Amino acid sequence: MSGAPSSSGSFGKILSVSILRFNGDTAEPVTLDAAYNLSHYSFFERGSIKEFLVFAARTVMKRIGQGVHAIDYEGNLVFCFVQPDGLGAIAVAEKAYPSRVAVTLLKEMVAAFKAAFPTATWRSATADGACKFPKLEESLKEYQDPTKVDKVLKLNAQLAETKDMLHKTIDKVLERGEKLDDLVEKSSALSAQSKIFYKQAKKTNSCCVVM
């Protein structure tokens, strides 16, 4: 994204992790809770960056099928783990972040979320932030350095599951004839300032906005 310093070390950053539901009873996926890592962006960029992280998660959640996916989205990766019941976890990360660790994080979050909330509670939620889940924030911090997550690095069998991950570009996820720029322009969830920020970042090729 524009103005962001490069990541230190060999691993990229996780920018956000979200728990969403999409069961067809709402126009857009509901963000049950989310956590963000925006400290490395300037104060003036953070509002727009957060809006686009929410926009990216919803856009992908609405258009992707169940399973494990990695979507190339404007220079970063959107990792998805969506279950048949409409519950999903999505993480946006820099491309250098290990895919297998990102997917392990998402699977762990979904399992923990289901243990914390009855199905009827999250299935009936229609407002963003309806199911506050502190473990998201804790895990977002914990997983920033994959080498410190010993339980992940030791589970070789579990990590091997990601070999079947479906990699796509955002263009392949959008419906026929849809363009990301058009979705950004039409989105009521993005402020005018964020839309201007997106256009400026695209023009300067600064790895724009989220991603």
- Establish if 9 belongs to a structural domain: no
Question: Which residue is listed with tokens 């686009």?
Answer: 52
- Establish if 209 belongs to a structural domain: no
User: What amino acid occupies position 49?
Assistant: I
Question: How many domains is the chain partitioned into structurally?
Answer: 1
- Establish if 92 belongs to a structural domain: yes
pLDDT one-digit tens code per residue, 115-152: 999 999 999 999 999 999 999 999 999 999 887 775 65
pLDDT one-digit tens code per residue, 40-49: 888 888 898 8
Cα–Cα dist 38/44, whole Å: 11
Percent of the chain with pLDDT over 90: 47
- Establish if 158 belongs to a structural domain: no
Please give the pLDDT value at position 167: 61
Beta bridge partners of 21: 30, 87
> Which domain does 53 fall in, by range?
14-145+164-204
- Establish if 150 belongs to a structural domain: no
The answer on pLDDT for 173 being more than 70 is no
User: What amino acid occupies position 120?
Assistant: A
- Establish if 52 belongs to a structural domain: yes
Beta bridge partners of 72: 77, 169
Please give the pLDDT value at position 177: 63
CA atoms within 13 A on the CB side of 168: 15
The answer on pLDDT for 30 being more than 80 is yes
- Establish if 156 belongs to a structural domain: no
Q: Enter the tokens of residue 26.
A: 């709402």
CATH of the domain at 58: 3.30.450.50
107, 81 Cβ separation under 8 angstroms:
yes
- Establish if 2 belongs to a structural domain: no
